Amino acid sequence: MQSIARFNDKTSIDVTFTDDAATTGGFQYAMHAGALLLVRSTSTAGPVEITFLARPSSSSADYFVAGDTTNNAVTLNVQPGRCYPLPDELFAAPYVGALAASGATVTVSVFMKG
């Protein structure tokens, strides 16, 4: 029998990303097969760049900038009212957060795929 992964309303969370690693939001990701970011609002007009972070756990104070296979930071330019799949490079991250561009905040709803 083929298994089907579905987006589930029960596995969504609202998160606000800031420009400070100590205060930016995040979400548990390790047990999911993917995620969709629905951008609710931003503090600045136009696209805002977010840079993804990984943490060993939600209680860890250690943040690491997520990198791709060529050692570039994993980023997205996001706008309100649009949705974006979580980049593949974050698939193995136990806990994911993001830094917004300097002075910006980005509020998203994260829908997990189980």
Place 51 in a pLDDT band, splitting at 50, 70 and 90.
Answer: very high
- Containing structural domain, residue 50: 9-113
Is residue 56, in this structure, part of any structural domain at all? yes
Q: Which sign, positive or negative, has the C-alpha torsion 37, 61, 22, 68?
A: negative
Q: 66-102 pLDDT, tens per residue?
A: 999 999 999 999 999 999 999 999 988 999 999 999 9
CATH number at residue 37: 2.60.120
- Global pTM? 0.86
The count of domains in the chain is 1
Give the burial class of 80: count Cβ atoms within 10 A of its Cβ; 0-12 exposed, 13-18 middle, 19 or more buried: middle
Is residue 3, in this structure, part of any structural domain at all? no
Is residue 93, in this structure, part of any structural domain at all? yes
